Chains A and B, each alone.
Chain A
Amino acid sequence: MSNPSAERGVHWFFKGARGIASLPAIILMSAFVGFCGFAVEAGIPLGETVFMTGMIWALPAKVLLVGSILAGVSLPAAFITVALSSIRLMPMVAALIPEIRTEKTPTWLLLLLSHFIAITAYVFTMERIRDVPREHRVAFFAGFGTTVTSANIVLVAVIYSTVANLPAMVAGALFFLTPVYFLTSIWASTRDRAGHIAMIIGLALGPVFHQVAPEFDILYAGLVGGTLAFVADRVWKRRSGE
């Protein structure tokens, strides 16, 4: 007995998996080459680097964790640093979930799949999810998320021993790829005006708070910048009578 709905689910899972050949996935893999080089330089052993890739998945959180390890901070301090910088994952997940779930999707499945949400998966899914029938969206996302995560785990394991031999200019360029990619892809996937204002204010406030309070610069820039952007958007709306 074949179940046509389940069969179509498998079809959409593989369609999501094929997203490994998309621009966001390819850029992410290049960024992971850069991260792997950073981990080698920081003296993080192979097993731990691979473990980090699979367990944390979000690239900025990994860079911060390696930075904390290099600085020799305590476990609670490292936890707070990474947790504060990863608060952004919550609204990203909260915005993505209503797009992919149906009333029948079990919460445990969403909790499990949420691990694969990071900036790249967010941008990729938000761009394409409207062309996927609602009942197959979870399968589509699962296909993309599991494939891209597994591919990067394998990539990091394979290149670990050779990545230290990268020419300095290439290694620098790979490190540059991440912020440029984040900047353009987040700008492109932000649809509301408040988001664009927040982006501009956040770019300016990041360095300002880095001078004033380097420990919590990201958090302060986010809270102050986001609130300012929110208020500015409200005022703008009222003025123009929207």
Chain B
Amino acid sequence: MMSYAALDAWWWPYVFIAVAGWLATDIWRWLGVLVGNRLKQDSAALTWVRAVATALLAAVIAKLILYPTGELKNVPVALRLIAVSAGFAAFLIFGKRIWIGILVALALLIGGQLLLG
């Protein structure tokens, strides 16, 4: 029923992407502009909305690590967790430098796989 593969026409996937992708993301951006144009800084409502957004994003991050797509699926979950935890710890310890966190996490992920064979 109206899935991506439902119609054989060349344009259907583009319509699917435009509606489920472009419209589904840009309506929030447009709404954000309208809200942002009126927004009172430091209001309680703004703090709440920002907290919800951050928690949403954190849940996305956790899912990308625990239930990944693509090649990452073949890396043991324990190694993924160790790599991201160590990377985040290194990021915090060394003055919140993002590149240090990424370097440590990736080095452990790749190094761990080489060790495990």
Residues of A participating in the B interface, judged by any CB pair closer than 8 Å? 23-24, 27, 34, 37-38, 41, 45, 48, 51-52, 55-58, 60-63, 65-69, 72-76, 78-79, 81-83, 85-98, 101, 107, 110-111, 114-115, 117, 119, 168-169, 171-173, 175-188, 190, 192, 194-195, 197-207, 209-210, 217-219, 221-227, 229-230, 233-234
Per the 8 Å Cβ criterion, residues 57-91 of B in contact with A are: 57-72, 74-75, 80, 83-84, 87-88, 91
Residues of chain B within 8 A of A172, CB atoms compared: 70-72, 74-75, 109, 113
Residues of B participating in the A interface, judged by any CB pair closer than 8 Å? 1-5, 13-14, 16-37, 39, 41, 44, 46-72, 74-75, 80, 83-84, 87-88, 91, 96, 98-99, 101-102, 105-106, 109-110, 113
Given contacts A55-B22, A56-B22, A58-B25, 16 further A-B contacts (CB under 8 A): A27-B98, A37-B71, A52-B21, A55-B18, A87-B53, A93-B28, A98-B39, A184-B91, A188-B98, A195-B51, A199-B54, A204-B62, A205-B59, A206-B58, A207-B63, A227-B51
Q: Which residue of B lies closest to A56 (CB)?
A: B21
Contact call B17/A48, Cβ cutoff below 8 A: yes
Given contacts A38-B69, A55-B17, A186-B57, contact A218 B63 (CB under 8 A): yes
Contact call B84/A88, Cβ cutoff below 8 A: no
CB of B115, distance to nearest CB on chain A (Å): 12
The A contact surface, by secondary structure, is helix
Q: Which residue of B lies closest to A66 (CB)?
A: B69
Contact call A41/B51, Cβ cutoff below 8 A: no
Separation of A171 and B47 alpha carbons in the complex (Å): 37
